[in-house]
Structure 1
């Protein structure tokens, strides 16, 4: 596969207190299979859908004991050191300096001025997602934040996104693109979200049937926060696994309603 464009979504992983339970949950929900993990990289375990790499699960580090599991989202960069400089120049915070991960690539973890956590990946031998936009794989992502002004200024400045806003007084949503192609969204968290929920990037994984997926989440001990709901882009639901990692499932083949109108912000 070819390298991702700068700023493009390229990978997702999560740390879990019980990696065995995580593998069972996502294996049943999304049909994932796994490699044996890399002891030299803390048991980093890649997940596969039909033999193609789609994500990774990782045992939680001892120093992170007690912290909830969470999905970590990666943006692609051809020069992670230069991107790190843009992060700090635009008010972001580096949580780690650029770090080589064997010959797989180089990464940095950071947060925007409003506290949204994310990572950046400069590919080496590991280019990122080998499958996207299909059941069992990454399909979409959205920055969910209360501090929209911070995120709206930060992410386009760092990653060069084009920006459009949805023309709808009932929702505050921006669409970010690279070269005119939509890559992710920014959604304003409202009063319906508990005040103790921090800002985050919601990662959407594709499923063949959203309602079946929601039933599976519940049966396996996970939570359903919202949905299922049908939109012009698919039928989706916001959920969490039994260890608390929030994400979304979407059936992109089941659509309904009028396509929203977008304008310049």
Structure 2
């Protein structure tokens, strides 16, 4: 078993009231295919890109009224210890650590400002099987928050991240690194975000052709929130799917401009 370093994104899933509708949407937009639903685990259904596991969809638990949203899971060698670290650093444990068959163990938590994410201790399920260059695969994620100082204290304390700040007076953006590799971004939410939008983790999936993927998504009822725009990291856009889950797409092969300078932080 390959154990991913602590804090590395390893999985993403989302709850949808209309699971079949979600499968049709993401199948058309990202090219996903889907496995059999696991009735033993709440009809949890894995998604695949070119035969490799990349995400999952699941119906809400009975009585749940949670809005659809993507949840990112970060690697943990011990989810009970991670839950304790979350609490001791001002976060909340929303779902206590639990064993998921022989697949692994998980918990759902939030940072002090309500950014929800999961921790995953791998068993038989090690997480993403596809690399970010594979269309349909997870390729990046960012914490969007109105209180960047809180996130910048919390996430490194819990996961041991080293931090780098983008050298741009117009954008408050930070990168969290694990073993010298960038694994997660942190973006300050500006006044462009309506006050009713809570802080969240924005998950990016790789596409081949950002504009074409946007056209497919909006043609199926998604709302385009931003883009498509070029960047040194790829051409990207942010959308809300027909059931209200936010996500972004990124063409990692369409690079434009110079990468910004990053300053190492103590």
Q: Name the TM tier (shorter chain).
A: over 0.9
**Cα deviation 1:231-251 (Å, max 9, x = unaligned):** 000000010110010000000
Residue number in structure 1 paired with 2:167: 167
Runs of 4+ in 1 over 2 A off after TM superposition: none
1:221 Cα shift? 0.3
The CA deviation string for residues 88-118 of structure 1, in whole angstroms up to 9 with x for no partner, is 1111100021100111100010000011000
Q: Take 2:147 and 2:174, find their aligned partners in 1: how far apart are those partners?
A: 13
Alignment-derived partner of residue 112 in structure 2? 113
Partner residue of 1:178? Answer: 178
Find the counterpart in structure 2 of residue 149 from structure 1: 149
Q: Measure how far apart 1:132 and its partner are.
A: 2.4
Q: Contact between 1:43 and 1:59, CA under 8 Å: does it hold in 2?
A: yes
**CA distance in structure 1 between the aligned counterparts of 2:88 and 2:244, rounded to whole angstroms:** 33
Q: CA RMSD in A?
A: 0.9
Question: What's the counterpart of residue 233 of structure 1?
Answer: 233
Q: Deviations over 1:121-179 (max 9, x none)?
A: 00010000001202110000000000111111000110011100000000000011011
Residue 17 of structure 1: how far off its partner (Å): 0.6
Quote how far apart the aligned CAs of 1:5 are: 1.1
Aligned mates of 1:34, 1:213 — CA distance in 2: 19
1:209-237 Cα offsets, whole Å, 9 max, x none, are: 00001111110000110000100000000
Q: What is the number of equivalent residue pairs in this alignment? A: 264
1:100 aligns with 2:135: no
Once the two structures are TM-superposed, the CA of residue 3 in structure 1 deviates from its matched residue by 2.1
Query: Would you say 1:132 and 2:126 are equivalent positions?
Result: no
The TM-score with structure 2 as length reference comes to 0.97
**Cα displacement (A) at 1:264:** 3.0
Using the size of structure 1 for normalisation, the TM-score is: 0.98
Rounded Cα–Cα distance in structure 1 between residues aligned with 2:75 and 2:131 = 15
Counterpart contact for 1:14–1:56, Cα < 8 Å: yes
Q: Is the 8 A contact 1:54 1:132 kept in 2?
A: no
Distance 1:151 1:41 in 2: 32
1:197 match: secondary structure: coil
Partner of 2:84: 85
Distance 1:98 1:184 in 2: 23
CA distance in 1, matches of 2:29, 2:131: 17
| In 1: Cα distance, 2:240 partner to 2:229 partner | 16
Are the equivalent residues in 2 in contact too, given 1:71–1:245 (CA < 8 A)? yes
Measure, in 2, the Cα distance between the counterparts of 1:127 and 1:258: 34
